[in-house]
Structure 1
Amino acid sequence: MGMLIERSSSWKEGFIQRLENHEPWNNSVLYNLSYTIAENNLITNFTGLQSLAYLPNIKPLPHQIEAAERVIEQMNGKAILADEVGLGKTIEAGLIIKEYLLRGLVKKVLILVPASLVNQWVEELYTKFHIPALLYKKNYELDYVDVVVMSMDTAKRSPHKEKIYAQDYDLIIVDEAHKLKNHQTISYEFVQSLKKKFCLLLTATPIQNDTFELFYLVTLLKQGHLGNYDEFSSVFSAKNRDEERDSYLKELVSQVMVRNRRQDTGVEWSTRKVHTIPITFTDHERQVYTAISNLKHISSVFSGAFSTMTLQREMCSSPEATIGTLRNLLPECKQVEEITHVEEVIGQLEKLSIHSKAKKATELIIQANEKVIIFTEYRMTQLYLSDYLYANGISNVIFNGKLSKSSREWIKHLFKQQAQVLIATESGAEGINLQFCHHVINYDLPWNPMKLEQRIGRVHRLGQEHDVQIYNLAVKETIDDHVMKVLQGKIETFEQVVGELDDILEMKERSV
């Protein structure tokens, strides 16, 4: 970068004045004093972090310092921070912000995060890094705020987005950046439109379903680094990929991505023990499952693959979840025959006296005799499980995305102090740290392996002292088998392009 050097002529006035009036030329004490001050303020080299000397409240781990140095020295402040869940990406981002602020390269910072994490970010930046970040409120004038944290949902809507566009931000940070997904989402378009001198995208899971998500994240940071969409899809799409292309893609991505794995950090980690728990439906449950699968032959309302699959997955979760969906679809059935069939299936579901998966989960909780988190995909299943567990004398609390910030804190407190079980959905558990628990039951398996990784990361993170027990529940000879296969395929894609994953499915399952 060329630097403009101009000769200063401001010395002339003082020089002539002293010459004409026979004034003393200098004061050696003042000179030495100002020389010492100038010397102390000099940053003598541009390598290494200057900020560490100014952070008494935090002792960053070696991998966090290395990540910050790499982003600043090699990546020019544009990077994906993709450490595995629980390795402290927020700490790395804080170090980078502090360093740039100290060096005078950054003044204004915009931090975009999921609504559930705004308070956490503000608190961490303030207590650990002495950065007075402000939590954005609707009537704030952004001209007078240097470091602002706001929820992505607020930021991308009018009138807030126009206020943001009017500012010149030096550094933009997006937490949980995988949620940007692709160019068709409003969040992606919004971030793409922001001026980005420096930009950090934080996500433990840069590929959720396919490599195109990674393409879009990299393109946000460095337009053209992976070519344009057509070039990328012709070279790296699933059907063209081979070992050589995968390693080439991995190399390109590593130029804009920092990814630390647990075993590379030099920190002693507890291990993960993954157990696949196969469940067999009773004859009665199997009959109902078949009746649900056959609805697609009876009515066009159920003929779409999506609605059949949803109902099958719900049946593997709880009768309540299935009944809820069937009742919602009932008004769309026009013929008497269709309505009768659906009502019959609802009747059969209501008569089910037992749900094998709920029974198995209860056995696992009793056997663990410690705190357990259950993850489910459905709110109706949450309620069903809560009642079922209480009926079996097991105290529990429900955690989902509908809770307010204060309710989330209260439920977390109740789980820590009193309840044995936390029944959570992904959206509810996002960003919370629960190291005091080390048993996770994946009651429903998601289609996306990264959701499993995010779930397990709630407990398997820095500060976890016990081995983490993970139980993946799957009903044999149902849609659950298909979900398992899809998960294995997606894990392979991730590992070929990004790097190895910690165990989220049982090892023997993964070699299939």
Structure 2
Amino acid sequence: MLIERSSNWKESFTERLEKDDGWDNWTLYNMAYEVAKSTLITDFRGLQSPNYLPNLTPFAHQLEVAETVIERMNGKAILADEVGLGKTIEAGLILKEYMIRGLVKKALILAPASLVNQWIDELNRKFHIPAMQFNKKYDLNHCDIVVMSIDMAKRSPHKERIYEQDFDLVIIDEAHKLKNHRTKNYEFVQHLKKKFCLLLTATPIQNDVFELFYLITLLKPGHLGNYETFQSAFSASKHNVEHEEFLRELVNQVMVRNTREATGIKWPDRHVEIIPIRFSPEERELYDMIAALKEHSDVFSDAFSVITLQREMCSSKEAVFYTLMNMREKCTSAEDLAAVDCLVLKLQALQMNSKAEQALKLIRKANDKVIIFTEYRATQSYLQAYLYEKGITSVLFNGKFSKSKRDWMKHLFQQNAQVLIATESGSEGINLQFCNYVVNYDLPWNPMKLEQRIGRVHRLGQQKDVHIYNLAVEDTIDDHIVELLHTKIGVFEKVVGELDAILTSYKMSI
């Protein structure tokens, strides 16, 4: 193919010379000049992104977080604001800022499946960032801002395709789920090629201090040394750490955390109360029979199995029944079978549930919408039937529901039902500011799960004081759980910072 130099320009040039025409349009020149000047960034300090976001008015603390991450942390940070303070907005500001400055062109956002659509909606609507949901038919080489669930991303063949990409920024929502360095999730994120990285979690420590160590190691390897160095330097154990001031200083170099109190925003008050429950004689007898099961063969010698049954007995006989029947199949001796069958008969004869009765009193006292959190789907079904008998309308919410069904349950709760009965899946990814009563029917081992639950209602947009009732059965495994929760809260506050009230003293009487 022959390429020739064009000479067409000569005619136009000659004509302009002979007729003394203007060389250009002065108005258009000025407009082009103003456009170029407006996009010129003369100073790296300060944010440009708010000038391009007419549909968003960020809070001061959100702008401060974005500035801190960009100017001091080089785009590698844990965003650890308390639940409900807008970590998604902060991450969006950082992404937008880097895009304006030309430092990010390709980004990956990993979130729980239930939050993928929410991320896409906010990035498109509030930040004018053309984010798209991952589709296996797409060529990732031509997709700039991709949102997908980490469960999908870590599986083949998607994993291999993602590993081929060079991402400028990776954002991981609910990053506390990476706390275990032995999981596929952790390994997957560790091998991503990324220049900048944001980990979003209100709960960087959930059970022990090593979870924070592994999160920071994922973000900036070596920042806290290796495992042995970290353990030695801070005399670290699961629930204790020394030299906490120095450790907190190191942590604050890679983590930004705002509390509600520090934002300067007027927040509704949070009222937390432990409600002690006393078992009836019949319930106490069953609880003691469960504790005695560990004396029977290898099936019940495992302390965890008996503890599970004890926790379930503090919830509902229905929860105990399902677990007990599964264990019964493993019984090999007539003595074991007799012990289990005796317990089953006692369960079937039990007619009351003291904790459910207390929950009903609280619901009637509230005379408003209430969220109940339970650890067991069997208890969830029981509570719905129990409340129906008492004339209380309720809807269920659990992880087995599809996204559309979860959305429908939320709608029914807001428009029709008085009570939402949720399992742990209801403590993440759903905003319920129209409700201000929370009943923690079953206490979790992890205090941060309590914070996640409360954060569904105590967040930006809540107009009323929030009331939290933690139910605990006296002289049972619940006593140990409450004690352990206080211990874990102490570790969190040593290393991360103050935590809003989620638990109060157990020294109360009915």
Q: Which category of TM-score, normalised to the shorter sequence, fits these structures? A: over 0.9
Matched residue, 1:136: 134
Alpha-carbon offset, residue 38 of structure 1: 3.8
SS at structure 1 position matched to 2:405: helix
Matched residue, 2:254: 256
Asked if structure 1 preserves the Cα contact closer than 8 Å seen for 2:234 and 2:242, the reply is no
**C-alpha separation in 1, matches of 2:238 and 2:54:** 51
Q: Which letter does structure 2 place at the counterpart of 1:108? A: K
SS at structure 1 position matched to 2:56: coil
Matched residue, 2:119: 121
SS at structure 2 position matched to 1:170: strand
**C-alpha separation in 2, matches of 1:500 and 1:99:** 30
Q: Give me the CA root mean square deviation.
A: 2.1
Match status 1:148 vs 2:146: yes
**C-alpha separation in 1, matches of 2:24 and 2:38:** 18
Asked if structure 2 preserves the Cα contact closer than 8 Å seen for 1:77 and 1:199, the reply is yes
Q: 1:211 to 1:345 in 2, by over 3 A?
A: same
Asked if structure 2 preserves the Cα contact closer than 8 Å seen for 1:81 and 1:259, the reply is yes
Alpha-carbon offset, residue 350 of structure 1: 1.1
**C-alpha separation in 2, matches of 1:207 and 1:386:** 33
Aligned partner (choices 277, 284, 287) of residue 286 of structure 1: 284
Alpha-carbon offset, residue 29 of structure 1: 6.9
Alpha-carbon offset, residue 70 of structure 1: 0.4
Q: Which letter does structure 1 place at the counterpart of 2:219? A: L
Greater shift, 500-509 or 151-160, is seen at 500-509
Aligned-residue sequence identity (percent) comes to 64
For residues 168-222 of structure 1, the C-alpha deviation after alignment (integer angstroms, 9 at most, x for no partner) is: 1100000000001122010000000011200000000000111111011111111
Aligned partner (choices 152, 170, 173) of residue 171 of structure 2: 173
**C-alpha separation in 2, matches of 1:505 and 1:430:** 19
Aligned partner (choices 384, 387, 395) of residue 386 of structure 1: 384
Question: TM-score when scaled to structure 1?
Answer: 0.92
**Number of matched pairs:** 490
SS at structure 2 position matched to 1:196: strand
Matched residue, 1:11: none
Alpha-carbon offset, residue 239 of structure 1: 5.2
SS at structure 2 position matched to 1:65: helix
Q: Structure 1: where are the runs of 5+ without partners?
A: 1-17
For residues 137-159 of structure 1, the C-alpha deviation after alignment (integer angstroms, 9 at most, x for no partner) is: 23222111110000010000100
Runs of 4+ in 1 over 6 A off after TM superposition: 28-32, 240-244
**C-alpha separation in 2, matches of 1:35 and 1:300:** 82
Alpha-carbon offset, residue 421 of structure 1: 0.4
**C-alpha separation in 2, matches of 1:212 and 1:236:** 11
**C-alpha separation in 2, matches of 1:439 and 1:424:** 13
Matched residue, 1:76: 74
Aligned partner (choices 306, 310, 319) of residue 317 of structure 2: 319
Asked if structure 1 preserves the Cα contact closer than 8 Å seen for 2:427 and 2:453, the reply is yes
Q: Which letter does structure 2 place at the counterpart of 1:295? A: L
**C-alpha separation in 2, matches of 1:239 and 1:124:** 40
Matched residue, 1:421: 419
SS at structure 2 position matched to 1:267: coil
TM alignment of 1:479-490, pairs within 5 A:
479-490=477-488
TM alignment of 1:90-109, pairs within 5 A:
90-109=88-107
Asked if structure 2 preserves the Cα contact closer than 8 Å seen for 1:435 and 1:459, the reply is yes
Aligned partner (choices 181, 189, 192) of residue 191 of structure 1: 189
TM alignment of 1:326-337, pairs within 5 A:
326-337=324-335
TM alignment of 1:290-439, pairs within 5 A:
290-439=288-437
Matched residue, 2:457: 459
TM alignment of 1:8-87, pairs within 5 A:
33=30, 36-87=34-85
Question: TM-score when scaled to structure 2?
Answer: 0.93
**C-alpha separation in 2, matches of 1:272 and 1:35:** 54
Q: 1:166 to 1:83 in 2, by over 3 A?
A: same
SS at structure 2 position matched to 1:301: coil
Alpha-carbon offset, residue 367 of structure 1: 1.0
Q: 1:415 to 1:242 in 2, by over 3 A?
A: closer
**C-alpha separation in 2, matches of 1:439 and 1:172:** 36
